[in-house]
Structure 1
Amino acid sequence: MTPVHAARATGVATITLDSPANRNALSADLVAALRAALADAGADPAVRAVVLTHTGTTFCAGADLRSPCDPADFLALLREIAELPKPVVARVTGHVRAGGLGLLGVCDIAAAGPQSSYAFTETHLGLAPAVISIPLLPRLDPRAASRYFLTAEAFDAAEATRIGLLTLHADPEGDVDAVLAPVLDGLRKASPQGLAATKSLTAAAVREAVARDGARLTELSAGLFASDEAREGITARFERRNPTWAL
């Protein structure tokens, strides 16, 4: 069963992460399927924009800790989203954690429902938000990035919008599709050339960060995952206990 599904309707390609058993975690299979679906959408002249969404209660839980994808493959996915000549719009109705926030951050526009929540959980696992910092640091409020990267605190959609992680969110009684409707209407009316040229401007900082820092941060990520502290942190998570370093 494929972990990603794609559909087309009225100029919009919708790509759905559909691996609820592992909360749409970034397994090798999911990353490969997502890259293929994005390439197909990018090559379709009828597509003006891509909507990236999910089934289940979690948009993406981050790395699949039982079988993580190669950090280089995840970096390639982020690069391909940033370089896709069509805007990518994240539609979130659930939780986003760790590496999933990098996926959210590299999207050109991100909208969420009121029940969504967010957390950079890496430091509690002996890891760091290394590769995902590439698309996020150009977008996030610097003070907020320092706080949430370091503490792993969870925060809500309103805070995610305030710090620049989200573009917009629905009110407590609202609906994410209602707030996205005018966004998608505007994209459908835009010319392919206009969208591609404009995205090259708005995503320039992210693309430059990928080229400058990608190899170094991929190496850092791989080294942390292979460390003793990370093995303890990940084991503790599966055993539902505090890691040995917790005070």
Structure 2
Amino acid sequence: MSDVAEQEIVHYETSGGAARITLDSQHNRNAISTALVEQLHEALDRAARDDSARVVVLGHAGGTFCAGADLSEASGAGTAQSSPEEQAAERTRIFLDLLRAIISHPKPVIAAVDGHVRAGGMGLVSACDFAVAGPASSFALTEVRLGLAAAMISVPLAARMNSRDLARALLTGEKFDSAHALRIGLVSEAVEDVRSAVDELVAAFRPCSPQGLRENKALLAAPLLAELDARGEELAGVTARLFTTPEVAEGMAAFLERRQPSWANDAE
């Protein structure tokens, strides 16, 4: 096991009636690594059993909420047991399980964002029931600039965002701020003080029955879970197919080398 995997990179505490889960893998901008997914699953399971928490708050340490997939893991070669394509498909299935764990959680989940959100991180935000974004927040679906598709996360994103705005975000990879994220439906609130806004939202759940919250949330989540279940294998296949293409190899190499990819020509 690596040193990173042994570290606690997802913190858990209960305060003010909320289970507060904090992503703290700042060395890779809270990227979706194997270790982060495992620890986040554990924290979500713990929150489901925590009778002192009526709601879950998913926040972050550092200036990034989540940078998307850990490309240092994603760019690894296959093993004797599996090809790179099979590994990509398996990573996608693992991420699908994480999205389902958030969407199907018995308690409301609030994303508390005051930093950068990219690619798969947008999927985490859209899987949450509420998203509160502060002034340091910025958002982008950067997959298109790597030669990838926002396959799995397109399902929860389509459930939150206006269709024309989602099309522009998916097809351009443009960055936008919290005010724009509010206008297009990605976040619930764009605020100056995330902590205060989240605490106010948490307080709104205190009069609510745990059973009532669980049953009403299940009603809201059912259509989204059904679509994820129906399309999960198809979308995993899209990601697996693209990860083996020369364009993705170039896109990820350019990202890791901090340069423009070969197709990003300057305008004449």
Q: Same fold (TM over 0.5)?
A: yes
* Equivalent position SS for 1:188: coil
Following superposition, the deviation at residue 46 of structure 1 comes to 2.6
- 1:151 aligns to 2:172 (yes or no): yes
In structure 2, the partner of 1:176 is: 194
Following superposition, the deviation at residue 220 of structure 1 comes to 1.1
In structure 1, the partner of 2:35 is: 29
Instruction: Identify which of 234, 239, 243 aligns with 2:252.
Output: 234
* Equivalent position SS for 2:196: helix
After superposition, where does 1:3-18 map in structure 2 within 5 Å? 3-18=9-24
In structure 1, the partner of 2:117 is: 96
Alpha-carbon separation, structure 1, partners of 2:146 and 2:104? 31
After superposition, where does 1:1-247 map in structure 2 within 5 Å? 1-68=7-74, 70-170=91-191, 174-247=192-265
Following superposition, the deviation at residue 11 of structure 1 comes to 2.1
Following superposition, the deviation at residue 179 of structure 1 comes to 2.0
**Matched pairs, number:** 244
Alpha-carbon separation, structure 2, partners of 1:226 and 1:187? 46
Which segment is superposed worse, 44-53 or 103-112? 44-53
**Contact kept in structure 2, 1:135 and 1:209, CA below 8 Å:** no
Unpaired runs of at least 5, structure 1: none
* Equivalent position SS for 1:187: coil
**Contact kept in structure 1, 2:14 and 2:52, CA below 8 Å:** no
CA RMSD of aligned residues (A): 1.2
Alpha-carbon separation, structure 1, partners of 2:174 and 2:47? 35
Following superposition, the deviation at residue 119 of structure 1 comes to 0.4
Q: Which has the larger radius of gyration?
A: 2
**Contact kept in structure 2, 1:87 and 1:199, CA below 8 Å:** yes
**Contact kept in structure 1, 2:17 and 2:202, CA below 8 Å:** no
Alpha-carbon separation, structure 2, partners of 1:217 and 1:116? 28
The CA deviation string for residues 111-145 of structure 1, in whole angstroms up to 9 with x for no partner, is 01112000000011010111111211111100000
The CA deviation string for residues 147-195 of structure 1, in whole angstroms up to 9 with x for no partner, is 010100000000001111100011xxx2112222321101122110110
The CA deviation string for residues 73-126 of structure 1, in whole angstroms up to 9 with x for no partner, is 110000111111101100001010000000000000000111200000001101
Alpha-carbon separation, structure 1, partners of 2:112 and 2:238? 30
Unpaired runs of at least 5, structure 2: 1-6, 75-89
Alpha-carbon separation, structure 2, partners of 1:241 and 1:227? 19
Given the two structures, how large is their TM-score scaled by the length of structure 2? 0.88
**One-letter amino acid of the counterpart of residue 24, structure 1:** N
Alpha-carbon separation, structure 1, partners of 2:231 and 2:68? 20
* Equivalent position SS for 1:202: helix
The CA deviation string for residues 28-69 of structure 1, in whole angstroms up to 9 with x for no partner, is 110111011101111223321100000000000000000148
Given the two structures, how large is their TM-score scaled by the length of structure 1? 0.95
**One-letter amino acid of the counterpart of residue 249, structure 2:** R
